[in-house]
Amino acid sequence: MPDIKDIRNMVPAVQQTAYLNTGTCGPMPRVAYEAIKAELEKELTPARIDADHFPAIGEARNGVREIVAAAINADPSEIAITHRTTEGMYIAIMGYRWQAGDEIILSNIEHPGGMLPSFLAKRRFGVRVRVADIGLGGGNPADIVKAFEEKITPRTKMIVLSHVSYTTGAKLPLKEITQMAHAHGVLMVVDAAQSFGSMQLDMQDLGVDFYACPGQKWACGPEGTGSLYVKSSSIGEIEQNFAGGMTMGTMDYYGGSYAPAAGAARFDTAGANVGQTVGQKVSTKWVTQDVGLDWIEDRIGKLAKQTHEKLSKLKGVEVVTPKEPLSGLIAFTVEGIEPPDLNTRLAQEHNVTIRYVTKYINNPDAARVSLGFYNNEDDIEKFIDGIKKIQKSL
Ligand SMILES: Cc1ncc(COP(=O)(O)O)c(C=O)c1O
């Protein structure tokens, strides 16, 4: 079983503050830092310009494909390398062959990462965007599935949603929504910003078509890294937005045509920065294999439950996040202080790092904590104590 002291030593940043914001950006482990440094060192040597330079790029990308695929029970040929979650969402949404009047369904608690490419598809192709209101994302899973199903029409092509909502922290019944969507011939484009690296994931079981993952959040990789799972049978559903020498298979110059590279690698938009890509590979491996997603999911679940209970007991605090099914994110409000002010005061007066999220439709403006696997009880105590002291001063 992993030792929490070893884990915290591996991510030194979390020893300097009670860091409760992995949902924005995870702390980098030493192993990834060392791997990036070693790659950077090569930039100063002939390795930067030797014959192995280009093959090294392909190797680094394939290394990420293998580790990400293993973490979500997919095949490496189903993984594209991207710069971030949002880019994966763009690849799937903007790659679809839209006709004016086609429809996308969003939930009411999406992040701009899925919302904006959908709105852009409306501007560019005349796609109609419909919103399924699932409240805060908790309650009976069958009601959530129904809310999406009620919005489906013969023109619906895609449901675009987050596996875990970044505003409320609710984990959605993805498998059930996917089964319903597929029964209507609708594709599932999923934003995995708050799920990848924080829980065990099985693409075979979930059945989704596209799953856009960050490298820098729960997988603790460098900024500017991500990946996109494309189910092998759904690859033909979208076209490349970006075709280049590295994402091309064969071509016919006179015919003005080409065939894309095999598998999801045709959708690669990143990975040429070898240091960053190797850092992504090493941090993702450390999180998903060395620490282990089973242990991580269990630990995050326990820490989140504890935090949810402690927050719920505080007078003047309202917990926004539904208790079931809980992820690592908890949104809450404190009477008498706006979330941005609470955020600032916790940081400045108590050395506790959280963030706040804004109201879109019916989720409230709220403060949000993320419980990472490296957090400990002390972090939670500092956070709860900080809120109590701030409350007293109001
Ligand atoms: C649900 C969700 N989607 C997308 C993003 C954006 O992620 P990225 O910067 O990897 O595109 C975030 C970041 O907070 C998020 O929470």
Locate 233 and state its tokens: 């049978």
**Residue 142 falls inside a structural domain:** yes
pLDDT tens digits, 99-126: 999 999 999 999 999 999 999 999 999 9
136 and 67 in a common domain: yes
Residues 202 and 233 in one domain: yes
**Which of 242, 258, 281 finishes a domain?**
281
Residues 234 and 254 in one domain: yes
220 lies in a domain?
yes
Q: Which atom of ligand 1 is nearest to the CA of 113?
A: 4
Q: Does the residue 143 lie in any domain? A: yes
CATH number of the domain within which 336 lies: 3.90.1150.10
The chain-wide mean pLDDT, for the chain, equals 96
53 with 188, same domain: the answer is yes
Quick one: pLDDT band at residue 51, thresholds 50, 70, 90?
A: confident
Is residue 377 located within the same domain as residue 256? Answer: no
Ligand 1 lining (C-beta closer than 6 Å): 23-24, 84-86, 111, 113, 162, 166, 191, 193-194, 214, 226
**Main-chain dihedrals φ then ψ at residue 246, nearest 5 degrees:** -85, -10
User: Are residues 76 and 19 part of one domain?
Assistant: no
**Integer Cα distance of 113 and 187 in angstroms:** 17
For residue 246, give the 3-state DSSP assignment: helix
Separation of 328 CA from ligand 1 center, angstroms? 15
Residue 394's Cβ-count burial label (10 Å; 0-12, 13-18, 19+) is: exposed
Domain boundary among 219, 253, 281: 281
User: Is 264 domain-assigned?
Assistant: yes
Report the pLDDT value the prediction gives residue 124, as an integer from 0 to 100: 97
With 0.85 as the threshold, say if the pTM is over it.
yes
Q: Calculate ∠ Cα 190-330-87, nearest 5°.
A: 30
Domain end residue (candidates: 252, 281, 310): 281
pLDDT recorded at residue 31:
98
- Choice from 25, 82, 83, 86 to test ligand 1 binding pocket (greatest atom count within 8 A of CB): 86
- b/e 330-356 (16+ beta carbons within 10 angstroms → b): bbbbbeebebeebbebbbeebebbbbb
For residue 63, how far is its CA from the centre of ligand 1 (angstroms)?
Answer: 23
Index of the ligand 1 atom closest to the CA of residue 165: 1
DSSP classification of residue 19: E
Assigned domain for 224 exists: yes
Residues 300 and 185 placed together within one structural domain of the fold: no
* Averaged pLDDT for residues 256-282: 97
Per-residue pLDDT at 361 exceeds 80: yes
Residues 119 and 224 in one domain: yes
Q: In the prediction, which pLDDT does 278 show?
A: 97
Tell me which residue range forms the domain holding 310.
Answer: 4-28+292-393
Number of domains in the chain: 2
**Does one domain contain both 42 and 20?**
no
Atom of ligand 1 nearest to the CA of 162: 1
Q: Answer whether residue 325 shows pLDDT above 80.
A: no
- Ligand 1 centroid to 24 CA: how many Å? 7
Two structure tokens written together for 104: 């996308």
Up-side HSE of residue 127: CA atoms within 13 Å toward CB? 26
In a domain? residue 90: yes
Is residue 173 predicted with pLDDT exceeding 80? yes
- For residue 216, which atom of ligand 1 is closest to its CA? 10
Asked whether residue 262 is assigned to any structural domain, the reply reads: yes
Q: Which residues contact 250 (CB under 8 A, 6 or more apart)?
A: 258, 259
Q: Is residue 286 part of a domain?
A: no
Residues 6+ apart with CB under 8 A from 143: 134
Which contacts qualify for 240-246: CB closer than 8 Å, 24 or more apart?
240/95, 240/266, 240/267, 241/90, 241/91, 241/94, 241/95, 242/269, 246/57, 246/272
Sign, Cα dihedral of 44, 50, 55, 58: positive
228 and 300 within one domain: no
Asked if residue 287 lies in contact with residue 218, where contact means CB atoms within 8 angstroms, the answer is yes
What pLDDT, on the 0 to 100 scale, is given for residue 54?
86
pLDDT at 345: 98
Nearest CA to ligand 1 atom 14: 24
231 shares its domain with 375: no
CATH code, domain carrying 65: 3.40.640.10
The fraction of the chain above a pLDDT of 70, given in percent, is 100
- The mean pLDDT of 368-377, rounded to a whole number, is 97
The pLDDT tens digits for 192-250 are 999 999 999 999 999 999 999 999 999 999 999 999 999 999 999 999 999 999 999 99
Number of the ligand 1 atom closest to the C-alpha atom of 88: 11
Same structural domain, 149 and 187 = yes
Residue of the CA atom closest to atom 13 of ligand 1: 24
With the most atoms of ligand 1 within 8 angstroms of its CB, the residue from 90, 111, 276 to mutate is 111
> What is the 181 CA–ligand 1 centroid distance (Å)?
23
